[in-house]
Amino acid sequence: MARISVLGGTGYAGGHVVAEAARRGHQVTSYSRHAPAAPVDGVTYATLSALDPAFVPTALADADVVLSSLAPRGELEGRVRSVVAALAAAAPEAGVRLGVIGGAGSLQVAPDGPLLVTTPDFPEAFRAEALEAAGVLEDLRATPAELDWFYVSPAAGFGSYAPGEATGRYRVGGDVLLVDADGRSAISGADLALAIVDEIENPAHRRVRFTAAY
C-alpha cells in the first residue's frame, strides 16, 4: 500500500486516479479548493489552495507519491509551473516520488515531427494551457538526478467532454502521440487512471514522460 496525495483530486483526471487508487487499497489524500460533491469511500479530502504557502509542505508530508493533476486555469492560470517547481525542489528531501499529469500538446505528432501544440488545428483556447504544461515537463527534465519523477501525457482526445468508458486496457508510448487504426487519439478517465496507478505500483518510467491511449 502506498500513501498517495493527489493534487486536484476532485477534478476530472485527479478524481479518476483517486477512485482507482482507493479501489486498490492505497492510502489516498485528495487536495483541492473545494470538497467533492460525491466523496470516495476511504479517501481523505483536504481543502487547500495550491497558492497557499502551506500547500507544498502539506502535500509532501506523509506521502510516498504526490501526483499533480493541477490545471492552469482560473486562479492557477500561469501558476502551475511554479507550484510544480516548488514540489520538485522539496520532494527529494521528503523522499517523495513526484508525478504530473500534463497535456497532449507537448507530444510530437510523429517521430521527429512537430509538437501537437504547434500544429494549425490545435485549439487556440487551449494553447496557453498546453504551453504551460510543456514548460512543466521542460523544468522536470532539468531537475537534479535525485528527484524521482514521471510525467503523463493523456491522449489528445482526453477530457470530461469525451469521458468514454472504462475498458481496462491502454497502450503506453513515449514522446509521440498515440493514435488508433482510424487516426484517433483517445482514452477514458478511468483507463488513464489505470495506467497511472499501474505506474505508481510498478514504476517503469523514472525521470521520463510517457503517454497512454487506446
Q: pLDDT tens digit string along 105-130? A: 999 999 999 999 999 999 999 999 99
What's the average model confidence in pLDDT over 80-85? Answer: 98
C-alpha cell at 101: 499529469
Q: Confidence band (pLDDT; 50, 70, 90) for 79?
A: very high
- 8 Å CB contact between 43 and 17: no
CA distance 106 to 139: 13
Domain ranges of the chain: 3-213
3 state SS for the chain: CCEEEEECCCCHHHHHHHHHHHHCCCEEEEEECCCCCCCCCCCEEEECCCCCCCHHHHHHCCCCEEEECCCCCHHHCCCHHHHHHHHHHHHHHHCCEEEEECCCCCCECCCCCCEHHHCCCCCHHHHHHHHHHHHHHHHHHCCCCCCCEEEEEECCCCCCCCCCCCCCCCEEECCECCCCCCCCCCCCHHHHHHHHHHHHHCCCCCCEEEEEEC
pLDDT tens figures, 152-163: 999 999 999 888
Percent of the chain whose pLDDT exceeds 70: 100
Average pLDDT in the chain: 97
Q: Give residue 148's pLDDT.
A: 98
Q: Give residue 162's pLDDT.
A: 85
What's the average model confidence in pLDDT over 184-202? Answer: 98
Q: Give residue 54's pLDDT.
A: 97
Of the options 3.40.190.10, 1.10.10.10, 3.40.50.620, 3.40.50.720, the CATH number for the domain spanning 3-213: 3.40.50.720
What's the average model confidence in pLDDT over 132-139? Answer: 98
Percent of the chain whose pLDDT exceeds 90: 97
Q: Give residue 143's pLDDT.
A: 98
What's the average model confidence in pLDDT over 39-43? Answer: 97
